[in-house]
Chains A and B, each alone.
Chain A
Amino acid sequence: MRSFFKHKFFPILRRLAIFLLVVWTVVSLVTLLIELVPGDPAVSVLGEQATPEQFAQFRERHGLDRPPFFFSFPRDPSGERHFHWYGLENRYTEYWIALVHGDMGHSFRTDRPVIDLIKERYAATIELALAALLIAVLIAIPLGVVAGKNKGTWIDNLASVVALVGISLPGFVIGPLLVYVFAVKLDWLPPSGRFDWSYLILPAVTLGAALSAILTRMVRSSVIEELNEDYVRTARAKGLSETKVVYKHVLKNGLIPVVTVLGLQLGVLLAGAIITEKIFGWPGLGLLLVEDGIGKRDYRVVQGCVLVISITYIVANMLTDMVYRWLDPRIRVS
């Protein structure tokens, strides 16, 4: 057993076990969330006026007539609670079985398979998140390097102030402000929708703003730290230009922590995309979640969206962890 824990694959196996545990928890939470709905989901979807047949049909169609979990403590006629075991005929197992077959149930409103709705929207969200990531990196690396190289000067202070403002201004403030300036006042970019590339710019900047601020601070402190290392002195001593020293040597080492943050932030971007998509009417998972799911009380759609966003987040985190290990051999060994 000892040698098992010392084996070089143990950390990977451990990560995998945690990954499976997290996925199991998320699916369980999402499945059971529907029990939180106050009152009867069928009534809140169909309305009070629906006939008893319609209610019965709706519950049957979506499995709401089955018990929610393996067991419960229902009241008997005398009002006392007793343990009751339902066996496998319950919503929890049914959701799992369907999920393994790639089925997330049907929309309560449109009766379309939830997995199809999600497939239509998934690409848009990923496109938005990656564009935001790209913008954040394009802003943060030059800004962070300039600030770090000129530590303590007015350039550094300016960069720090810009970064702080970026962190403190949430997307739902930046977004409408950008719409006001670039769509309403200047009329340069469209305020909402998703057609050609010009529609991507404002949402991506909105979503990437906070990340670029965080990254700028990281790149800055990374550059400051690396500039004190011996290899920089060596590089300078052998007559390399300052640009070469910074961009070829310092950045290469300084970017390792940045990559980690980048990966972890990809998940944060996915959550932030919910708000950004609402601001710009960007037809991604977030808009599906907020407008079709929460807005119309289509709980099946909410379940599906939460599940897919979470799994994407978890996978992104795991991949980041692997890239990090691969980038920095010191972590691989320990």
Chain B
Amino acid sequence: MNRLTTVGLVIVVILVLVALLAPWIATHDVGATNLSLRYLPPSSQYYFGTDSTGRDIFSRVVFGARISLKVGIVVVAVSAITGTLLGALAGYYGGWIDRIVSGYVFNVFLAFPGLLLAIAMVAFLGAGLNKLIFALCIIGWVGYARLIRGQVLKVREYDFVQAAMALGASDGRILFIHILPNAIQPLIVQASLGMAGAVLSEAALSFLGLGVPPPAPSWGVMIEEARDLSTLQAAPHALIFPGLAIALTVLAFNFIGDGLREYLDPRQRTR
């Protein structure tokens, strides 16, 4: 395990703890506005200062971790499971299922900017956390399906799988007991990078006003609120802290993904 992966893991563990313990870590009410306390710089009372309506930025960043992680976990779990099932079926059975999934769906989805599709869907459905999660799942599963399909095509040729087939094991048994456990490793890498992508997409859509509606402490919403010129002038920290939170989270998941990839693929280790 290399150093950057460890750094990534430490950041993620801290992030998860912060999200779980948010009500105890936060020092102020995330929604409490007080115009006489606006634009305060970071201090021992307001660790990250206050924003344009006098809300405590530290507490909002802390609660924002919950939104980011929730979106990331749900999106990755749903897309990974859907993608794995469809990819495995396509790779195992081949034939017309495979022709539709790999010939049509992969080509179409990959020839299309995912973020744009998510923006379009949420634009028509209306903003909201669940709709955002739904849109990200719709665009997310394809990558997993393609990965697993390729893996299944490879593993099904292995001798022990051929032996199981010759012994007359059922399709379900061969696929779930013999093939998938041996095909799933790269999925972990994909899932880690997928967490980074989902956190970024949630922040981007919330920034555009298409995610969680404004009073909620989403990091994307906080950046959107902090970027008008008068706030930038008076309180650049209102932009810097949520920005730092997004960057660190994305960086951490990318570190883990890269580290796992190297670990699982020893050829890359001796660079």
Contact = CB atoms under 8 A, between A and B. Distances in A.
Given A18-B107, A271-B116, A176 B232 contact: yes
B243 A177 contact: yes
B200 A170 contact: yes
Interface string A162-176: 001101111011011
B239 to A, nearest CB: 5
Contact of A302 (B120, B207, B229): B120
A287 B184 CA distance: 41
Nearest to B124: A36
Interface in B202-216: 203-204, 207-210
Contact of B111 (A22, A29, A290): A22
A37 B224 CA distance: 25
A314 to B, nearest CB: 5
Contacts of A167: 254
A179 B208 contact: no
A158 interface: no
Interface in A266-286: 267-268, 270-272, 274-275, 278-279
A320 to B, nearest CB: 11
B147 interface: no
Interface stretch (A92-100, A233-241, A292-300): A292-300
A193 B2 CA distance: 45
A245 interface: no
B125 A173 contact: no
A177 B123 CA distance: 27
Given A170-B246, A309-B113, A310-B113, A180 B232 contact: yes
Contacts of B112: 22, 26, 310, 313-314
B237 to A, nearest CB: 11
Interface residues of B, number: 41
B120 A173 contact: no
Contact of A21 (B108, B114, B117, B233): B108
B217 interface: no
A179 B108 contact: no
B121 interface: yes
A191 B120 CA distance: 27
A270 B209 CA distance: 19
B125 to A, nearest CB: 5
A54 interface: no
Contacts of B254: 164, 167-168
Contacts of A124: none
A75 to B, nearest CB: 23
A115 to B, nearest CB: 18
Interface string B99-142: 00000100110011111110111011110000000000000000
A30 interface: yes
B227 interface: yes
Q: How large is the interface on A (under 10, 10 to 19, 20 to 34, 35 or more residues)?
A: 35 or more
B246 A173 contact: yes
A184 interface: yes
Contacts of A36: 121, 124-125
B104 A176 contact: no
B236 interface: yes
B223 interface: yes
B251 interface: yes
A302 B124 contact: yes
B213 to A, nearest CB: 14
B267 to A, nearest CB: 14
Contacts of B246: 170, 173
Interface in A138-181: 164-165, 167-170, 172-173, 175-177, 179-180
A38 interface: yes
Interface in B228-265: 229, 232-233, 236, 239-240, 243, 246-247, 250-251, 254
Contacts of B104: 21
Contact of A306 (B116, B229, B247): B116
B251 A164 contact: yes
Interface string A34-51: 101110000000000000
A317 interface: yes
Given A172-B220, A176-B232, A294-B123, 11 more contacts: A33-B124, A36-B121, A173-B239, A176-B239, A177-B240, A179-B232, A184-B229, A270-B113, A271-B115, A278-B207, A302-B124
Interface of B: 104, 107-108, 111-117, 119-121, 123-126, 200, 203-204, 207-210, 220, 223-224, 226-227, 229, 232-233, 236, 239-240, 243, 246-247, 250-251, 254
Interface of A: 18-19, 21-22, 25-26, 29-30, 33-34, 36-38, 164-165, 167-170, 172-173, 175-177, 179-180, 183-184, 191, 267-268, 270-272, 274-275, 278-279, 289-290, 293-295, 299, 302, 306, 309-310, 313-314, 317
6 contacts: A34-B124, A172-B220, A172-B223, A177-B239, A179-B229, A271-B113
